[in-house]
């Protein structure tokens, strides 16, 4: 994507690469006022926020949209045997450094899907930095696994497939566009957002990093969450939980807030009338919920 394309997708935003020490993180940022960081999920890039970010700028916020370590145009270290190089703790440290380099010592935070697990880890590990946090379409990884049954395994089979060594890379890299096509509709996503996704997944290094995200999730990330739970740690920042009413989170678990009450002090939240990729499908509702909460 050229600078002109970036400017069209995120008008008024600046795009740059930030070296965090372990990784080079691609980030889009714009606006003025209190800082809000938006973290995307799998297999998206920061472009997933292209409809939400301008609405938050118009509402008076500085908006930061990074590509997570290894996703999109961000690059991290080689994978490690224990998957720690792609743990949510490592990715959260990237995001903290990105905010610092952009001049923000404290910020609001929203994460969707895999980005929500990074947001959870940031809120746990860096409580003095995160003012308010919004967690979208998620439960903690350990809570999913604690409740895993045949229905969960059938619907969320990709978690366990992606965790296998080597095989997922061979399958996906054989035809990445076809692999991701069923959940990547250009009419819904927006043409430029869709094109950015397809460019990213053509790179085997991106595919491998995204798979390492899932491998870390079932191993080291789960262990970190279990350590938090055993120690009685919770998110101290005010917490908003949003979920897509046309996805399956409610269907599998009932009210997500019941689960989150063990992880955050007095979480609030509600469903958004949308499919899973709510930032693309229901941007006005998402932006309004975030702006109200972060204000």
Instruction: Specify burial of residue 169 (Cβ count, 10 A radius: 0-12, 13-18, 19+).
Output: middle
Please report the pLDDT score of residue 4 as a whole number.
47
Q: Under 8 Å CB-to-CB from 171, ≥6 apart: which residues?
A: 179
Coil vs helix vs strand at 128: coil
Tell which phi-psi region holds residue 70, choosing left (phi > 0), alpha (psi between -120 and 50) or beta.
left
Residue 69 CA from chain centroid, whole number: 11
pLDDT in tens, 245-281: 999 999 999 999 999 999 999 999 999 999 999 999 9
pLDDT in tens, 157-215: 999 999 999 999 999 999 999 999 988 999 999 999 999 999 999 999 999 999 999 99
Q: Is pLDDT above 70 for 7?
A: yes
Q: What band does 116 get if pLDDT is binned at 50, 70 and 90?
A: very high
Please report the pLDDT score of residue 85 as a whole number.
98
Domains observed in the chain: 3-294 (3.40.50.1820)
Mean predicted lDDT score pLDDT of the chain:
96
pLDDT in tens, 45-94: 999 999 999 999 999 999 999 999 999 999 999 999 999 999 999 999 99
Q: What band does 6 get if pLDDT is binned at 50, 70 and 90?
A: confident
Q: At what angle do helices 191-201 and 204-216 cross, to 10 degrees?
A: 90
Which of the 8 DSSP states describes residue 121? H
pLDDT in tens, 216-246: 999 999 999 999 999 999 999 999 999 999 9
Q: At what angle do helices 222-231 and 114-125 cross, to 10 degrees?
A: 40
Strand 24-31's sheet: what is its strand order?
14-19, 24-31, 62-66, 35-39, 107-112, 130-136, 239-244, 268-272
Catalytic machinery residues: 113, 276
What's the whole-number mean pLDDT along residues 113-129? 98
> What φ, ψ does residue 63 adopt, rounded to 5°?
-120, 130
Q: Is pLDDT above 60 for 136?
A: yes
Q: CA–CA separation, 125 vs 130, rounded Å? A: 10
Please report the pLDDT score of residue 5 as a whole number.
61
Please report the pLDDT score of residue 17 as a whole number.
98
Number of residues in the chain:
295
Helices vs strands, H then E, count in the chain: 17, 8
Coil vs helix vs strand at 177: helix
Q: CA–CA separation, 187 vs 185, rounded Å? A: 6
pTM above 0.75, yes or no: yes
């Amino acid at each position: 994507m050229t600078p002109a394309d970036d400017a069209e997708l995120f008008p008024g935003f600046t795009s740059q690469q930030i070296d965090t020490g372990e990784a080079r993180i691609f980030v889009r940022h714009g606006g003025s006022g209190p800082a809000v960081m938006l973290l995307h999920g799998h297999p998206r890039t920061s472009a997933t926020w292209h409809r939400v970010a301008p609405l938050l700028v118009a509402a008076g916020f500085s908006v930061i949209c990074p590509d997570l370590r290894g996703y999109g145009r961000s690059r991290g270290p080689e994978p490690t045997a224990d998957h720690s190089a792609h743990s949510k703790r490592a990715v959260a440290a990237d995001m903290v450094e990105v905010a610092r380099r952009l001049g923000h010592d404290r910020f609001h935070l929203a994460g969707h899907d895999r980005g929500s697990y990074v947001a959870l880890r940031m809120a746990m590990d860096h409580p003095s930095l995160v003012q308010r946090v919004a967690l979208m379409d998620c439960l903690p990884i350990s809570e999913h696994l604690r409740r895993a049954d045949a229905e969960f395994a059938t619907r969320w089979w990709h978690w366990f497939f992606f965790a296998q060594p080597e095989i997922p890379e061979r399958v996906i890299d054989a035809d990445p566009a076809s692999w991701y096509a069923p959940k990547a509709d250009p009419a819904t996503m927006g043409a430029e957002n869709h094109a950015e996704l397809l460019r990213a997944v053509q790179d085997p290094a991106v595919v491998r990093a995204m798979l390492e995200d899932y491998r870390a999730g079932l191993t080291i990330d789960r262990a970190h969450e279990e350590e938090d739970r055993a120690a009685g740690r919770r998110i101290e920042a005010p917490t908003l939980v949003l979920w897509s009413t046309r996805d399956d989170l409610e269907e599998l678990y009932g009210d997500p807030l019941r689960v989150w009450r063990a992880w955050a002090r007095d979480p609030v939240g509600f469903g958004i009338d949308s499919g899973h990729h709510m930032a693309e499908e229901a941007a006005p509702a998402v932006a309004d919920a975030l702006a109200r909460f972060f204000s």
